[in-house]
Amino acid sequence: MKKFEEELNKLTDYVAEAGDMILEALRNSSNALINGDIELANNVIENDRNINRISYKIESASLKMLLLEHPVATDLRIVSAALKIATDLERIGDQAKDICDLIRFLLEGNIYKNNIDTIIEMSKIIDYMVTNCIKAFREKDSQLSRDVIESDDKVDKLFYKMRDSMVELIKSGAENADQAIYLMMIAKYFEKMGDHAENIAKWVYYYTTGERFK
């Protein structure tokens, strides 16, 4: 039993470590966009392999515990949740990388710099979501996971706002309007990040309560 608890603590630490990496990637991709920082964007792209490695560690540890330890009840739920969470964390890392890939194509024109406020607002909400879904996982906090889940609606509304403004910009025939396409794609990647953070929070809610979030 003591060995299982040690393995469970190690698994929890892996999830927290992955969460820290994801937050760094999210924040760096946002800052790279705001500042037009190609070097920072390249760092996010380069560091994605580390996120993949920690996700693999979570998956391996979870499967090992499921196969060898045969956990039941709450222990089974937490190990199963960690296995699912690893996939969503890796996806958020992939989307941070995709955002940084697109930053390379953005120019320093007014269309780029003057139309990222909504994306910045999205990134701040997602930062809150990722931070707190990992905190909820560690602290077994079902209410916090619920708060994260409900935050995703704000991200969706901001995405639709961004999409509509970019469509209008393209229709206007503004100079360098091709940047609007890249910005819309970046906004979509942020919106997907919110979806994955929501998924993580739903798994946390399930393992802490034994019930699916409705």
Quote the pLDDT of residue 197. 97
Asked whether residue 177 carries a pLDDT value surpassing 80, the answer given is: no
- Return the top range by mean pLDDT from 71-75, 111-115, 197-201: 197-201
Quote the pLDDT of residue 214. 75
pTM: 0.93
Distance CA 126, CA 148 (A): 9
Instruction: Specify the higher pLDDT residue, 110 or 68.
Output: 68
Quote the pLDDT of residue 4. 85
Q: Look-up: residue for tokens 């906090």?
A: 141
Minimum mean pLDDT range among 63-72, 76-85, 121-130, 187-196: 63-72
Residues in Cβ contact with 203 at an 8 Å cutoff, skipping those fewer than 6 apart: 81, 84, 85, 88
Closest CA to 16 of 89, 101, 121: 89
Closest CA to 78 of 132, 148, 10, 130: 10
Quote the pLDDT of residue 77. 93
State percent of the chain over pLDDT 90. 78
Q: Is 170 exposed, middle or buried (0-12, 13-18, 19+ CB in 10 A)?
A: middle
Contact call for residues 41 and 111 (beta carbons, < 8 A): no
Distance CA 123, CA 74 (A): 33
Question: Which sign does the torsion angle of CA 98, 124, 156, 208 carry?
Answer: positive
Pair of tokens at residue 21: 């990496």
Backbone angles phi, psi at 173, to 5 degrees: 70, 25
Pair of tokens at residue 84: 């699912």
Helix/strand/coil (H/E/C) assignment for every residue in 14-58: HHHHHHHHHHHHHHHHHHHHHHCCHHHHHHHHHHHHHHHHHHHHH
- Give the model's confidence band at 107: pLDDT under 50 very low, under 70 low, under 90 confident, else very high: low
Quote the pLDDT of residue 18. 96
Backbone angles phi, psi at 28, to 5 degrees: -70, -35
CATH homologous superfamily of 2-209 equals: Phosphate transport system protein phou homolog 2; domain 2 (1.20.58.220)
Averaged pLDDT of the chain: 92
Distance CA 187, CA 155 (A): 10
State percent of the chain over pLDDT 70. 97
Asked whether residue 76 carries a pLDDT value surpassing 70, the answer given is: yes
Asked whether residue 1 carries a pLDDT value surpassing 80, the answer given is: no
Closest CA to 167 of 151, 152, 153, 183: 183
**Using only C-alpha atoms, what is the Rg of the chain?**
19
Quote the pLDDT of residue 16. 94
